[in-house]
Structure 1
Amino acid sequence: MSDHELHAILAAPNNPLLTWNAPLSEEHARSLIDACPVPDGGRVVDLGCGWGELLLRIVEGAPGSTGDGVDSDPVAVARGQRLARGRGLDSHVAFHESSADGWTPTGYDLAVSIGAVHAWPGSTREALRALRTTVKPGGQVLFGDGFWTTPPTADALKGLGAEEDELVGSLDDLVRAAADAGFAPLRTTVADQREWDVFESNGRAGWGERWALDHPDHPLRDDARATAARHRAGYLGGYRGYLGFAYLVLGV
């Protein structure tokens, strides 16, 4: 047994507790989809899509539309393909095992990128510039990224395993960065504390504990619980209340 095996067990694409890999409620998701209408026969791309839950719902609600889900994780791509087949959307949504920064098709009506700025070397600002070129005039981008609600403490940074400059800054800084990239900021919403708590509880911390309870004799049981405890402590004793997550609807 290895750390690699434990990582695979607890990885987000293998976690049945997660609907999407972001702090997002069903109500909030519906409001985002409503804010990004896709014309009949429109084209949608989700860059860094994971298993593409939001992409699938957008295409499902837009008759005749098609979607491309792009992610470098083969496990996430495979989960997305299974979900598409299960909903009868496999002829409308194609998943591609590719890096977001290497995806070259353009002319989309809507581009989505949620929590995936790490796919671009320059992080947030480079991601925004790249997304700007992906959609056609009159199109939109649905962009999700982190921000600091207040300057983070050392414990917050340690719990997150991050440096302060890994995020563009405050919420205002994030929206300004979108405007600087040539977007018209149309709508800004943020994950509330309940969305964060549910996401973190269903993430590696909660899934690790649940998996350990379901596999009491597995040789990795104790390692899974230890990993869950570290993540729980990093959140509750670290970045809870410091790390925010924003969803921006941006016009072109």
Structure 2
Amino acid sequence: MSADEIRALMSAAHNDRLTWNTPLSEEHAAQLVAACAPAPGARIVDLGSGWGELLMRLVESAPGSTGDGVETDLEAVARGRALAGDRGLAKRVRFHETPAAEWADGGYDLAVSIGASHAWPGSTPEALKALRAAVRPGGRVLFGEGFWEREPSERALAGLGAEPGDFGSLLELIRQAEAVGLRPLQVTVADQREWDLFEANANIGRGERWALANPGHPLHDGVVAAVDDRRTGYYGGYRGTLGLAYLVLSA
């Protein structure tokens, strides 16, 4: 039984129950797009874009704007290109199979990165520096990053496979943005319902649905075990402890 095969089965890129690979509702997403307020003709980049749903929403909100999705997950890129084609955005939204930390283009009006700070060697501070460098003076940044809602317990850390220093408080995250010259215009966080729906529809839900539909498959027991581990890690560990903040920032 291959752990890689199980991860592939449960991957977000194949999960049509996920609009985006982050705890985010339609209403919250619309608020983020409005706060970013890309102007007509804006140039937008999403570093670690996944399949680029939020990037496409931003491009759709601004006539004549264009977007670059930078992503190394080939399955996510394939999903993104298909979605862009279906929505008539193939000429306006381009996907690049490049590591986010290696993307060198700049002068963007808006730079986005949601839950992808691990792509940079220095994690959050380096991600913020890269986003600041990617936008023109006066441009905007949308940064989504984890933080501790409360002091993490051992069970929360085990459920995430994390260390206490992997995240700080929400205020510490805001201060990190300010330290690289980014000023907060709007700070919101994923609420508990967004988190619960995300976890229910992501690995837990996809794995559970697959196992129910494939009772005799050789990977069945391994998928069930993976689902049980994830469920225990979330409901018995990091639920209410790990937060996800969305910072709309001005450069």
Using the size of structure 1 for normalisation, the TM-score is 0.98
SS at structure 2 position matched to 1:138? strand
- Could you say which residue in structure 2 is the equivalent of 1:102? 102
Unmatched 5+ residue regions in structure 2? Answer: none
Aligned residues with identical type, % of pairs: 61
Q: CA deviation at 1:216?
A: 2.2
**1:168-220 Cα shifts (integer Å, max 9, x gaps):** x1000000110011111111000000000001111111110011112222221
- Could you say which residue in structure 2 is the equivalent of 1:186? 185
Unmatched 5+ residue regions in structure 1? Answer: none
Q: Residue 122 of structure 1 aligns to which amino acid in structure 2?
A: G
Moved more, 65-74 or 216-225: 216-225
- Could you say which residue in structure 2 is the equivalent of 1:176? 175
Matches within 5 A, 1:236-251: 236-251=235-250
Q: Residue 175 of structure 1 aligns to which amino acid in structure 2?
A: I
What value does the CA root-mean-square deviation take over the aligned residues?
0.8
**1:136-168 Cα shifts (integer Å, max 9, x gaps):** 01110000000001110111000111111111x
Rounded to whole Å, the distance in 2 between the matches of 1:200 and 1:53 is: 18
- Could you say which residue in structure 1 is the equivalent of 2:216? 217
Rounded to whole Å, the distance in 1 between the matches of 2:228 and 2:205 is: 9
Rounded to whole Å, the distance in 2 between the matches of 1:137 and 1:9 is: 43
Rounded to whole Å, the distance in 2 between the matches of 1:164 and 1:18 is: 29
- Could you say which residue in structure 2 is the equivalent of 1:134? 134
SS at structure 2 position matched to 1:228? helix
Matches within 5 A, 1:60-75: 60-75=60-75
Rounded to whole Å, the distance in 1 between the matches of 2:66 and 2:85 is: 14
- 1:148 paired with 2:144, answer no
- Could you say which residue in structure 1 is the equivalent of 2:200? 201
SS at structure 2 position matched to 1:188? strand
Rounded to whole Å, the distance in 2 between the matches of 1:249 and 1:2 is: 40
Using the size of structure 2 for normalisation, the TM-score is 0.98
Rounded to whole Å, the distance in 2 between the matches of 1:73 and 1:26 is: 24
SS at structure 2 position matched to 1:182? coil
Q: Residue 234 of structure 2 aligns to which amino acid in structure 1?
A: Y
Rounded to whole Å, the distance in 2 between the matches of 1:216 and 1:58 is: 41
Matches within 5 A, 1:57-96: 57-96=57-96
Q: CA deviation at 1:251?
A: 0.1
